[in-house]
Amino acid sequence: MIKKFRLGNPIDTKAVTASTEIEDVKNFPLELTQEERLVVAFSLDNDAMIFGLGESVRGINKRGWIYESWCSDETEHTEDKRSLYGAHNFIVVSSENGKFGLFVDFAGKVEWDLCYSQPNEAKITLCGSDADIYFIDGETERDIVKQFRNIIGKSYIPPFWAFGYQQSCWGYAKPSDFTTVRDNHRKNNLPLDCIYMDIDYMERFKDFTVNRELFPDFRAFVSDMKAHNIHLIPIIDAGVKKEEGYSVYDEGHEKGYFCKNADGTDFECGVWPGIVGLPDFLNKEAREWFGSQYRTLIDMGIDGFWNDMNEPALFYSKKGLETAREKLRDISRADVDIWKYFDMRNAVTSIQNSMDDYSSFYHNIDGRTVCHKDVHNIYGAFMTNAAGEYFEREYGKEKLLIFSRASYIGAHRTSGIWFGDNYSWWEHILLNLKMLPSVNMCGFLYCGADIGGFNKDVTEDLLLRWLALGVFTPLMRNHRALGTRAQEAYRFSGTEKFADVLSVRYRLIPYIYKTFRRCSDEGDMMFRPLAFDYPDDRLARETEDQLMLGGECMIAPVYQQNKSGRTVYLPEPMTFVKLSGENVSSQKLEKGLHYVEVELNEVPLFIRQNKKIPLASPALNTAELDTENLKYIG
């Protein structure tokens, strides 16, 4: 049962699609304080668990930390962080005394103190007093999630080819970079469907442009890549470069489609292109205008995009930059001791993604002027909705790929997400795993992390182990930053090991795709904590390095360096399967703890009792994949 409570006059975030009767706030079942800020509080027993909050750090059970819903350009995904790129305000509380879900539909910052300040007390604080809050009562965690998913709408389904393996790198700039990646994958029997185009392809980092010196006939280049069954996926950033004669900027400025300062002038900040205007995606006309800009690249044959820098990330604003300069001038007039040095450093670093800047510009929402800080968390979601809604309207469903860095619940209907700028750290394999059920709860099914890690230098064994997890994630993309160690699969001595693992992905695509579609249609989760399926099994409830997949499987990747395998807990008898290229080995295991050995070229999988899953024959891309003649294992 779902109950909706309205406090004040909240912004329409477009998260919920179903009509729900508004209850009297006096009947709100938890402690609620209505002052300058709304505060929801409740007590928990010692064994209560808290699931959800989508894309965030730490464990599957969120108890014991303070999280913030505030879409953040945060590159270091470490345990001390409180927010990442998404704002996913949904939790499920599970205890022996009952279970309930809570969705706080609020576009500004929310602080979730989940038994951090007090061991058995949760306090949710909104930076405002206007919100819709949904209370969901249910018998099981999975039932609560399904009820929630039912009111927020079905999840986005990308084209079938988007389930293939994808290679990306900040630094692919000229045509030969892309053809080299394509040809080396084919030469080494490494499957591949997509290659990404980071900011290097643009003309001076301008959205919806192509560097004509590098790509004199971009349309022909895209066509040639498609003839080799490779889809090119360009990046689109939120900021539009301020440049006279650049049609996107000129039109946006002329029609008033950029976010404004208090005096009505365009708010200007600096990101990759230099000074930019930020499209006001909360303005319906501006949103429709921006969505239509994608057609420039679509008409050249592009059929997929990734939206970035849309929290929005701000390197600096004009005002912030001048303030920093003044501080540096003042400091430099005196002798610089260690404290002055710290002041100098902070004068520069503090202007990036500054709260002062987020508090200084405004949106036009149906004629109403709203400060950005009050709607910050829906900005990136509305950018991606601009694209997704345009794609569906002009080209139909499931025709184009789109996913985003920043997100809010509701954007799951038009796009997927990836988990942002992670690191080539072993612990980030585990973080990747733990995020999957949490974002699934919030409707984001098409999701995945940068396999191998975006930042720092990967090792061969780390990449292989990460790929063995990525085999199961709908978005399977290998991506790295400029200046880091090359991590295309053919760069390593054990190329045949990578071929074995990537072949497994294509063999599993029929199962992954069918499971994905079912979960979208039924409002279900592809990936679930063991606690959802085995609620009375304490060891299962506390296991956080294994997940249930679909209705048939459990996954348990190896995520530690120099390990020949790992210990796995089976909450019921299962068949332990190891997949490698065309090879399949299986072993029946009883309920309990087992140490299983897994070679670097093997993908471990556990199939439940009386269940089977289909396998296709290996293929080098989805266009060549035989989805009809399947064999079943289990």
pLDDT at 572: 98
Domain containing residue 94: CATH number: 2.60.40.1760
Q: What number is the average pLDDT over the span 375-393?
A: 97
Structural domain for 119, as ranges: 2-152
CA distance 282 to 463: 40
Last residue of a domain, one of 109, 129, 152: 152
Is 225 a domain residue?
no
- pLDDT of 380 > 80? The answer is yes
Residue 617 banded pLDDT, cuts 50, 70, 90:
very high
Q: What number is the average pLDDT over the span 189-203?
A: 98
Is 569 a domain residue?
yes
Q: Which of 50-59, 124-133, 318-327, 463-472 has the lowest mean pLDDT?
A: 318-327
Q: What number is the average pLDDT over the span 183-201?
A: 98
pLDDT digits (tens, 9 = 90+) for 470-479: 999 999 999 9
The conformational region for residue 380 under phi > 0 = left, psi -120 to 50 = alpha, else beta, is alpha
pLDDT at 148: 98
Distance of CA 438 to the CA centre of its chain: 11
Residue 342 banded pLDDT, cuts 50, 70, 90:
confident
Our count of domains for the chain comes to 2
Q: Which helix (H) or strand (E) holds 440?
A: helix 427-441
Which 3 state secondary structure label does DSSP give 387?
Answer: helix
- Helix, strand, coil shares, percent, the chain, to 5: 30, 25, 45
pLDDT digits (tens, 9 = 90+) for 134-165: 999 999 999 999 999 999 999 999 999 999 99
Comparing 350 with 425, the larger pLDDT belongs to 425
Which 3 state secondary structure label does DSSP give 2?
Answer: strand
Residue 292 banded pLDDT, cuts 50, 70, 90:
very high
| Measured torsion, CA atoms of residues 183, 189, 193, 196, in degrees rounded to the nearest 10 | -50
Q: How many CA atoms lie within 13 A of 470 on its CB side?
A: 30
pLDDT digits (tens, 9 = 90+) for 513-540: 999 999 999 999 999 999 999 999 999 9
CA distance 36 to 421: 35
Q: 247-254 and 284-293 are packed helices; what angle lies between their axes, rounded to 10 degrees? A: 170
Provide the b/e sequence for 178-201 (b: ≥16 CB within 10 Å): bbebbebbbeebbbbbbbbbbbbb
Say if residue 572 is exposed, middle or buried (CB neighbours under 10 Å; 0-12, 13-18, 19+).
middle
Last residue of a domain, one of 86, 118, 152: 152
pLDDT at 225: 98
pLDDT at 336: 78
pLDDT digits (tens, 9 = 90+) for 545-583: 999 999 999 999 999 999 999 999 999 999 999 999 999
Residue 334 banded pLDDT, cuts 50, 70, 90:
confident
Q: How many CA atoms lie within 13 A of 102 on its CB side?
A: 23
Comparing CA positions, the residue from 580, 633, 572 lying closest to residue 608 is 572
CA distance 501 to 491: 15
pLDDT at 543: 98
pLDDT at 332: 72
369 Cβ neighbours under 8 A, 6+ residues apart: 362, 363
pLDDT at 350: 85
- Model pTM? 0.97
Comparing CA positions, the residue from 567, 522, 568 lying closest to residue 548 is 568
Is 428 a domain residue?
no
Q: What number is the average pLDDT over the span 343-368?
A: 90
Last residue of a domain, one of 152, 176, 200: 152
3-class DSSP string for 26-59 = HHCCCEEEECCCEEEEEECCCCCEEEECCCCCCC
Helix residue ranges, H only, 255-378: 284-293, 295-298, 318-332, 338-349, 355-358
Rounded to the nearest integer, the mean pLDDT of the chain is 96
Is 549 a domain residue?
yes
Is 404 a domain residue?
no
471 Cβ neighbours under 8 A, 6+ residues apart: 501, 504, 505, 508, 603
Distance of CA 148 to the CA centre of its chain: 19
pLDDT at 576: 98
Is 332 a domain residue?
no
Is 85 a domain residue?
yes
Domain containing residue 552: CATH number: 2.60.40.4040
Q: Please say whether the beta carbons of 307 and 387 come within 8 A.
A: yes
Is 464 a domain residue?
no
